[in-house]
Structure 1
Amino acid sequence: MEEKQLEHFSHEEHPLILCELQKENDDGSIDQKSAVCYGCQEQILGPAAYCCFACDFFLHKRCAELPRQITHPMHSLHPLVLLGRPAYSSGCCSCNACGQHWKYFTYHCSLCEFDLDVSCAILDQREIKLDCHDHPLRQQRPADIYCNACDKDGKDSSYLCAICPFWIHKKCALRPTTVKHKDHNHPLLLAYSLPSDYRSFEKSCPVCREKVHPSRWVYYCGPCRYFVHITCVVISQEDEGQLSEDIEYPISGEQDQNVVKLPSRNAAQELIARFLLKKDKISSSNDSGKTNILEEIFMDSHRKHPLVLSEKV
């Protein structure tokens, strides 16, 4: 490799030389010199990097060639200037994107004291687009965040919108649109908020018994009016990874004959009619032609109290 030198603002003591960090042995194996990039603090895995061996100072080729000034959508008022280290007397800053404490390459606005580490500013360009949000979401390093999907705090890898305050855990962003929950007989669909048809009454999660927030993500079965927090769903290992968006959602067949599709104008009559059709709930007709119906029954879905037959609803 032709020797290439670089006078870099972050290391004014000596010029940086572009060097090979990989060496091929006679047996074909590769030796990789262990080095960490000063700018982004990630392991250098590529074949070459800018090096100062006297100071044990290394930069990825990409980090050494970063633009000195950028305009970023999280801070569009002023340009951000690349600094070798944060501009504060402590030598450290808090990244305005991921919140981590940082003391290496930083994009900085001196007027607003706004700072981004290089990964949040420019290096990590992995993005996804979700139907629930108008803008692309960019993957972030693990950080303590409040998740707009599950309504919980926690340190985890995440996706952040660089335009508006929308931040979600990575595991929430990658949730399947259809799951089979171990405590429910039908597939559950993912909704990015409680469907409007079901907002008339407060809903509680059958797993944790806490309220289902109308603006948070939820798995639900519409015909059964079954709603569960996305963090409370337990997917069986057999079903996990086999579910896809192409799963149809029929409510038919013998196993679903007792499902009442609500709302219904005659919901009470439909429920009672299903109870009456159960052979073990009806005794034979007496001589007067009347049917003896049990006045109290217990259902598998509601074992806390008996259900009492009433003529009025």
Structure 2
Amino acid sequence: MDNHISQLHHNHPLDLVYLQQPNHKNENDHEDEDEDEEKDEDEFVEEDYHGPQCNMCNEQIYSFHLCYYKCKSCNYSSHKFCEELPTQQNHPSHPSHNLTLYPSSKLHNEFMCFVCTLKWKNVYFYFCGICNEAMDIICATMSEQKIKHPSHGHQLGRMPGPKVSSCLACSNKHEGVFFQCTACPGFLISLDCALLPTKLLIQNHTNGNFTHSHPLTLSYSFSYSDIKAKFCPCCRVCDLGFYSHLWVYKCEKCLYYAHVDCATSKREPFMSIFQLASLGKTYKNFKDDEHLNLLRLPFHDEGDNLVKHHISNQKEFISTQLNGETLNHFGHQHPLILFDKQTSYGKKVISLHDPMKRMQLLCDGCVKPIMSVPFYICRHYVDGICCFVLHEWCAKLPLEVQDYAGHHKHTLFLLPKVPYMFFGVYDCDICGLPSNGFAYGCTMCNFYIDINCAFIPKEITHDAHPDHLLSRVKCSKMPKMVCNACQYLMVRKLGFHCVSCNFNIHVECALLLPKVINHKCDKHPLSLRYHPAENHISEYFCEICEDEFNPWRWFYHCTTCAQSMHAACAPLILQHEQATYADDDTCVYKFLNVKFGGTLEIKEHSHQLAFVQGLESDGECNECQQMLQYEMIFKCFECKFALHYECVSSSDSRCSSSP
């Protein structure tokens, strides 16, 4: 501060003080202060680069003013352009007479400025004694109030008077001071946006409603190519999209983005009625004692499912069977043996479902993994004649469902196999997924649903939207609504919806994606993620299919190994090199309800064909010459011959099947 000035506006010498700018060092900084940069980047302290209030105009001295005058002897400060005003001048706004500068003490009452017509008090002013008119010091210095803002390459000039206008930084309307480019009249930003900090912690501005552990950095654009490369992210506060020319706060360590107004909570409260509900902290809107059997999703692992939850809550579900006892089930032609405390039958060991060892054991009823005892198995399993297995709860299913939400016309009856469907495969009329497990159906209407979809509760909660009830709704009542899991429209029969917020989810995305899964590709359990993981700024590639994927759709992730998988790829128990994912309109593996296996004989081929999912290596269908990958197929393991399921089923008179 070696610049000194003595002015008539103040009795003491004044020093010119240069304001410290973000990301710049002072000239007096020592080299040894470089070690500060090595501190933990997460230790963030928001700094104030602004000066005090100007004693001449009573406005704040901001960082973009670059410097100001300060008195060491008393508490006096002033803008450089205010302090350097002449005591007399001929102003363009009043060319007829000279104006004289007076301190605020010369007027005891407020005055009206003849330029901006605003009333002022306690500010310096210019006065014309001939016309008896006054001009406030802000209007007098308007032409000198030029700022240099990092968002634009040219100087910005202050516009006269308070304005109500849209701001080019945030696109919202602001009232107050605006700055306009002296070379590009279209560039107009509000004082509010001009003062936005280059770094902030979002929780300091949102009362904890939206939290992120890392500082967010202000960016003056979000290019379209960058938006597209990041899979068109939405604001993590309001869930709306971004425009490339608007400012945005972004995390340098994570895929976390927020609008400037959202990050600083500057949206006017009354605007909330015109906006979609935000994604912030939710407050519990129900009482636990009023929802005793409330289904809390996602299920913890693949061993849990909706049928188990529903049947276990029934009072009549009390196991009276003992290990080794038999059950004659109407859905299978052979007696079933109960395995209770052991997993072997005679000399044969029965392996439970274990993705880590690529052991697959799927229930023929719900087509979900059998990961624990007790369960039922066909007595001919040991002879290799029949591989029928059944969860204990699937063996206790009710024979009919009345007043079903998606089909009120008739009673639905339990069907071990849907009649007239080739190889027992049907498409569920609720979730749309194919299945060859048990079904509930109405043969008069050709309406069939898998047994999981038969027990969809009226209300659930989900960790992706905690503390709010999600109600079962018909998707036809939610036009243009998007599922928060897969980001596709809610076009199926039933879904879940939060009546308080803009949160929707397909029934299959809610019910069929467990919280934790195990997979051979990672030695740690993988967790279901609803947003991109923290400390992961790079692209996301699926460890199964090796394709890049959109992290704004739900996926599975291991934080320890930083490995990720499509939610649709994660359940597969196949070799790593066998890519099996198809980018469908859901996060759920499309054959999750299909139990592959069994053989087929056709007249034009001498070998038996196995019912499997097509891989890239299977090539083309021998009938339609279309690719077999990602489809249900019948494949010969003795020669390179395979057919689509549809190609075989369209002329099923030529074949016979066996379990």
Calculate the TM-score normalised by the size of structure 2.
0.25
The answer to which structure has the higher strand fraction is 1
User: Rg bigger for which structure?
Assistant: 2
Calculate the TM-score normalised by the size of structure 1.
0.48
